[in-house]
Structure 1
Amino acid sequence: MPKSMTGYGKLDYVDENYRISCEIKTVNSKVLDVSVSLPYYLSGKENLATSIVSKYVKRGKVHVKINTRFLKPVELKIDFAMARSYFEVLESIRESLNIQSSINLSDILVFREIFHSELDSDEIERLWNKVVKVLENTLEVVDKERQIEGEKLSKDLKKLVDKLMDISNEIEKYSHLLKQEIAKRIKENVEEILPENVELDANQFETAVALIADKADIREEIVRLKSHLNRCKELLNQNNPVGTLLNFLSQEIHRELNTILSKSRMLEISNLAIDGKFVNSQIKEQVQNIE
Structure 2
Amino acid sequence: MPKSMTGYAKLQTLLDEYKISCEVKTLNSKGLSVDVSLPYFLNSKELDVISIVKRYISRGKVNVRLYVKFLRPVQVSFDFSMVRTYFEILNEVRENLSIPSTVDLSHLLNFRDAFQFEFSNDDIEHAWASAREVLEETLKQVVEERAKEGQKLTEDLKSMTKRMKQIVNAISEKADQIPKYIADRIRKNAREILPDDVELNKELFENAVALIADRADIREEVVRLQSHLTRIEELLESDQPVGDLLNFISQEISREFNTILSKSRLLEISNLALEGKYIASQFKEQIANIE
TM-score of the pair, normalised by structure 2 = 0.98
Amino acid at match of 1:274: L
Give the distance between the partners of 1:54 and 1:9, measured in 2 at CA. Answer: 16
Equivalent position SS for 2:33: strand
1:218 is displaced (CA, Å) by 0.5
Deviation at 1:106, TM superposition (A): 2.4
Classify 1:12/1:213 alpha carbon distance in 2 versus 1 (closer, same or farther; 3 Å): same
Residue 98 of structure 1 deviates from its aligned partner by 4.0
Counterpart of 1:138 in structure 2: which amino acid? T
Secondary structure at the counterpart of residue 116 of structure 1: strand
Q: CA deviation at 1:152?
A: 1.1
Residues 1:34 and 2:34 aligned together: yes
Cα 1:99–1:212 shift into 2, 3 Å: closer
Q: Paired residue for 2:9?
A: 9
- In 2, distance between residues paired with 1:190 and 1:227? 40
Aligned pairs for 1:246-285 (under 5 A) are 246-285=246-285
How far did 1:241 drift?
A: 0.2
Q: Percent identity?
A: 55
TM-score, normalising length: structure 1: 0.98
Report the CA distance between 1:185 and its aligned residue. 0.5
2:243 alignment counterpart:
243
Amino acid at match of 2:169: N
Q: 1:85 to 1:225 in 2, by over 3 A?
A: same
Instruction: Supply the AA of the counterpart residue of 1:69.
Output: K
Structure 1 window deviating more from structure 2 (134-143 vs 147-156): it is 147-156
* Equivalent residue number for residue 219 of structure 1: 219
Match of 1:210 in 2: 210
Distance 1:32 1:179, change over 3 A: same
Q: CA offsets per residue over residues 49-68 of structure 1, 9 Å max, x none?
A: 00000111010110111111
Aligned to 1:124: 124
The number of aligned residues is: 291
Which position in structure 2 is the counterpart of 1:159?
159
The residue that corresponds to 1:104 in the other structure is 104
Aligned to 2:23: 23
The C-alpha deviation readout for 1:114-160, integer Å capped at 9, x for no partner, is 11100111000000001100000000111001111111111111110
In structure 2, how many angstroms separate the alpha carbons of the residues matched to 1:270 and 1:4? 34
**Alpha-carbon distance in structure 1 between the residues aligned to 2:250 and 2:121:** 52
Equivalent AA in structure 2 for residue 285 of structure 1? E
Distance 1:60 1:240 in 2: 14
Provide the C-alpha distance between the structure 2 equivalents of 1:254 and 1:98, rounded to a whole number of angstroms: 71
Structure 2 equivalent of residue 146 of structure 1: 146
**Displacement of 1:103 after TM fit?**
2.9
What is the CA-CA distance between 1:100 and the residue it aligns to? 5.0
Pairwise CA distance, 1:107: 2.4
**Secondary structure at the counterpart of residue 67 of structure 1:** strand
**Aligned position for 1:174:** 174
